[in-house]
Amino acid sequence: MKRLLSDGLNVLRRLVWPIMASVRDNAGLAALSVVLGFALWIFVTDTTDETRSGTLPFDLVVEPVNVPGDLALAGSPVNVRVGVDVDEDVWDSLTPADFEAKVDLEGLQAGTYDLEVRVEPLTGRGGLRVKRVIPPTVAVDLKSLFSKSVPVSVSLEGAPPPGFETSIPELDAATVLVTGTQDRVTLVTQAIAKLDLSGRTEDRTQAVRLEPRDSRGFLVEGVSLEPSVINVLVEIEQTEFSRALVISPTVVGTPAAGYDIVSLVSDPASVTVFGSQSFINEAATIRTQPIDIAGATDDIVRTVSLDLPADVSVSGGTSVTVTIQIEPAQGRQTLGVTAVAVGLDPDLGVKGALPLVEVVLLGELPALQALRPNDITATINLSGLEEGKHEVTVSVSAPAEASVASISPETVEITLEPR
């Protein structure tokens, strides 16, 4: 670079001084001289770019051209490397796409040949020139074409969503013709058409490219198929439908006398059910296996299975937890109680028998059913009363678990007489 700059400055010095000396006499000639000086400097600079020579670090695939129609190339594709001259700044940007490597088979018959490889550059960047081909020749084995028919199979990849089923694939060709050298054709036992059904919910028809494969499923190269593309039809039908249904616990038996079911709670309260279209359209709830509550007096918590028909499934687990809340029933009880006199003057007595009072009690039914008349007290207060007839109010006291709803009669007539 220093030498390049020095040369440029020398050129400018030689050009500029004479120009400056004659500027006063001829301005146009001076300007022209400056332009020509710069042009010369640019030319010199451009022509001094460094060139790199060497073998490129990648392979080129040799393509056979003019292959006779009744022959095929045996073996795998041949690769060569190429030596080039190119500007240093272009070297690292070259790729196999910048070259074409060919071997000409025109007019040849079956046999093995050592043929020259021709490599042509497809770009002119950096003055690219091909200097040598490594190796310069390649062995080419030409063999007569051989053909046979093989069956076509469909390989379905992926699957529709749950609840959808696929039909047997339909093909527009059951067999295809495999052509190539006999050693390659002999390996081919089937032609595979791959079709992806991932997430599909509707019928699918697609033109699919066939792949020649051997008995172990490995791809066989160097052969051709006729036809190479076939149409594949796969019908997709929805066979399972879904819907969220409320869970309805099945309860058998009854609680103990005087107890009621207050609530039934299922956890979860609903599930997504999968089944036939008729079941999904008609079902209102999904029931559980029976839960026996015979004689129960307390809450019952059970984990039970859902009662599912044979062709029905659910998302998640098939068991639920059911809580049955049982509480004493509210009721009423009527008892007949003989009134008791209190506060009576010792010198007086009650004429006749003390009255019978009917008491109606409210409360939890089990507790009410356990009450007896002697658990209730009905009193009439005779304090301060004298001889004669009196209208007296009846008072009733009951246990804490019961409340008095009514007393009949609420007042009674009492006759007091001397003892």
58 within a domain of the structure (yes/no): yes
Residues 104 and 120 in one domain: yes
377 within a domain of the structure (yes/no): yes
d(CA 333, CA 165): 66
Residues 161 and 234 in one domain: yes
113 within a domain of the structure (yes/no): yes
Whether this prediction's pTM lies above 0.85 is answered by no
| pLDDT confidence of residue 278 | 86
**CATH number of the domain that residue 77 is part of:** 2.170.120.30
| pLDDT confidence of residue 8 | 52
| pLDDT confidence of residue 397 | 92
| pLDDT confidence of residue 15 | 54
Query: Could you tell me how far CA 292 lies from the centroid of its own chain?
Result: 41
Helix (H) or strand (E) holding 365: helix 365-369
352 within a domain of the structure (yes/no): yes
Residues 70 and 115 in one domain: yes
269 within a domain of the structure (yes/no): yes
Residues 302 and 338 in one domain: no
| pLDDT confidence of residue 23 | 46
Residues 252 and 287 in one domain: yes
271 is in which domain, residue-wise? 241-328
**CATH number of the domain that residue 155 is part of:** 2.170.120.40
Instruction: Give the end of a domain, one of 294, 328, 362.
Output: 328
Instruction: Give the end of a domain, one of 297, 328, 359.
Output: 328
140 within a domain of the structure (yes/no): no
Instruction: Give the end of a domain, one of 265, 295, 328.
Output: 328
Question: Which residues neighbour 51 within 8 Å (Cβ) at sequence distance 6 or greater?
Answer: 85, 86, 87, 88, 127
Name the nearest CA neighbour of 414 among 334, 345, 359.
Answer: 345
Residues 282 and 341 in one domain: no
Summarize pLDDT for 172-228 with one digit per residue, the tens. Answer: 999 999 999 888 999 999 999 999 998 888 888 899 999 999 999 999 988 899 999
**Averaged pLDDT of the chain:** 87
| pLDDT confidence of residue 379 | 94
Low-confidence ranges of the chain (pLDDT < 50): 1-4, 11, 23, 41, 43-45, 47
